[in-house]
Each structure stands twice: as C-alpha cells, then as structure tokens.
Amino acid sequence: MRHNKSGRKLNRNSSHRSAMFKNMARAVFTFETIRTTEAKAKELRGVVDGLITLALKNDLSARRQAFKVLGNHQLVKHLFDEVGPRFTGGNGGYSRIVRLSQPRVGDCAPMVIFELTKLAEKKAEAVSDSASAPKTEEKAAE
C-alpha cells in the first residue's frame, strides 16, 4: 500500500524524475510558458513555486539551493533579479495550468500550458504588438 507516499511516479525512476523536473523548471524560467502533460504540470508546480519562493528570500543560501536545481548561474541570476521581484507581495499562486482542448495525438494524454502568472512585460508587449502589427502593415501597403 502507498500510505503517506506523496507525488506521482510518472513511470520513471527517481533520478529520471528529478532530472526531468529540473529540465522542465529550466524551460519554464527560460521561456516562461511550456506545453506538457497535465500530470507532469501538476508535479512541476511544486518545483517552480519552491524556486520562486527561494527567489523572494534573495540571500546567498537561497541562491545556492536554486543552483542545485537549475544548474546554471545565468538562470539563477535571471530568477532572482527578474522573475522573483515580479511576485513580491503575494503568497503563492506563482504558476498557472491552462488545459488545452485537444489531447496529445499519439496516446491521447491531456495536454496543458504551464506558465508563470505574471509574465514578463516584454512578452506581454510583444503579444499586443503582434496583434496590432498586421493592421499597420495593411495601412502602409495601401
């Protein structure tokens, strides 16, 4: 019986699972939004939210703990200098899971988009600029 055994195994051994979540956390902090399965996203939530909580502490010990997970000094700097300050003043709720309507083609696994709740301003501006850009190009072509 699995009494008091938290977390999903995801058909992987422990080292593969930890490596997968480290890689997914790196991808989240690099791109701020990723597409993955629902079960992986729900488990990844704890890793990412824990790293953002470390970024809110912003001391040397927290940076070393974040480096153990991320394994990249530039990514740790990005986490503590850019991502962490966005979430000051809030308690939790740093990530969002949005379900996609279509499952994965091969095995019909439910797919989601995993993203940070407060995206970077430059990405938000790029989305709004790309929506308004075709209108200005059409006017220029006329």
Q: What is the mean pLDDT of residues 15-42?
A: 96
Give the pTM.
Answer: 0.82
> CATH number of the domain that 30 lies in?
3.90.1030.10
Residue 62 lies in a domain: yes
Q: What is the mean pLDDT of residues 4-12?
A: 93
Q: DSSP string of 103-126?
A: PPTTT---EEEEEESS--HHHHHH
Q: Among 7-21, 29-43, 50-64, 108-122, whose mean pLDDT is lowest? A: 108-122
Question: What is the number of domains present in the chain?
Answer: 1
64 lies in which domain range?
Answer: 14-141
Separation between Cα atoms, residue 39 and residue 112, nearest integer Å: 9
